[in-house]
Amino acid sequence: MACRIKKFAILFFMTFSFMVNAKYTIAIYTDQKDNKNANEYVELMQKTFPFNVYEIDYKIIGLEPKDLPCRVETDYKPGTAPSDPKTKVSESSVKCDQVALIKKTQEMHADQAMVIKTDTEFAGSGGDIAMITTATPVSALLHEFLHVLGFCDDYEYKAKDADIFCKDDGSVQNGVNAVIITPKDNYKGDSDARRLHWSAITWNKLIENRTPITNSNGSKLGTGDINKDLAPANNTNSFTILDDPIGLYKGKVCNNASKPIVVWHPGGKVSIMDNHTAGLGVAYEKLVMKILDSKGVKRKSNAPEKEDDDEVILVQPNKPAGKNQSYYGESNPPASDSSTKTYDQRNPFKVLGDLLKDAIYGNGSQSK
């Protein structure tokens, strides 16, 4: 839930990353006997744009259940439905010993750990490691991986979760694909709204001049509301066509918070961060490419040509440390709550983008 919270790591790991990893390698740990879901996930990634135009290696690591340090936790009361197949919302989450898995991943010179745990519950979690159960469609693992990359949920949280994750200090529900902006009742046109809010929109470089961020003759904020159409799966080698223009679309994630918070997203269609049967949409495709580029992941020769603004590295708003997001209404706490040091250092693999950002924008003691 909410968005990925990153902590900074030390320079050593950047060197490590450059020296050892020619390619970006994803290690998928599973205790499923035939690795069926892991293979399905690799197939999904290898055909889904933009991941299919990057040099990414996948290593499936089959383990005995006792050797996979993960478990499924359920929050629901006995006798109630564990999950809602319509909304795909579950009360269960996958919890792993993240420190152990990241260490193992580091030892095999891989960059990103994922887990597919054998279990009958529909559940997943994001954070530093993307995790799902075997009862969960593998597209949900892509949703979790997008959390790892810094994306926030788009789906409407239940009230209890909304009150935890929707804070009006803007600290949690801001991410590469979401910003909290409290709209004024009335604007004096689009330029007025741009003047007031442009700098808050982290993806503003992707919004064309001709795309308004207001409606109703420039009086109301928003290119529009996110509509009911699902972003289609995109198995081509280029951006989704016939999508809504990238702009500022009113989301619903925090609608049920006791103090209403308005969260805005760049795309007009329902995305995989809302419904895992949906695709990414052009806005999220562009954002993913910027993030992968910033991590130094190599584009394949069939990738779209770099755009002028590709050198611009997205600035994520500052977020509090120690929070973590998961999918489907659960939190995924650090592997060892009592060991802050371990937690702070638990994710040495995906730091390149952060370090680049830090080099340009500085970090001080802030966390992202």
Residues that bind Zn ion (CB under 5 A): 153, 327
What's the min distance (Å) between Cβ of 151 and Zn ion? Answer: 8
We find the least distance from the C-beta atom of residue 330 to Zn ion, in angstroms, to be 10
Q: Cα-flanking dihedrals φ and ψ of residue 296, to 5°?
A: 85, 15
- If the CB atoms of residues 61 and 176 are measured against Zn ion, the closer one turns out to be 176
Of 267 and 348, CB closest to Zn ion? 267
Letter for the amino acid at 312?
V
Helix or strand or coil: residue 116? strand
Q: Which C-beta is closer to Zn ion: that of 148 or that of 221?
A: 148
Task: Cite the beta strand spans of the chain per DSSP E.
Answer: 24-30, 56-62, 70-74, 83-84, 89-90, 92-96, 112-117, 124-125, 130-133, 179-180, 214-215, 220-221, 224-225, 249-250, 263-265
Which one, 74 or 275, has the nearer CB to Zn ion? 275
Question: What's the min distance (Å) between Cβ of 146 and Zn ion?
Answer: 8
Sequence length of the chain is 368
DSSP secondary structure letters along 67-94: GS-EEEEE-SPTTS-SEETTTTEESEEE
Toward Zn ion, which CB reaches closer, 153 or 354? 153
Nearer to Zn ion, 124 or 247 (CB): 124
Q: How far is the CB of 324 from Zn ion (least distance, A)?
A: 11
What does residue 338 show for φ and ψ, rounded to 5 degrees?
-85, -10
| Minimum distance, C-beta of residue 73 to Zn ion, in the bound complex (Å) | 16
- Neighbouring residues of 364: CB distance < 8 A, sequence distance ≥ 6: none
Rounded CA separation 11/128 (Å): 19
Work out whether the CA dihedral 38, 59, 293, 197 comes out positive or negative: positive
Residue type, 20: V
Closest distance between Zn ion and the C-beta of residue 80, in Å? 21
CB of 138 to Zn ion, least distance (A): 15
**Which residues are bridge partners to 179 per DSSP?**
264
- Smaller CB separation from Zn ion, 31 or 153: 153
Q: Which residue is nearest to Zn ion (CB)?
A: 327
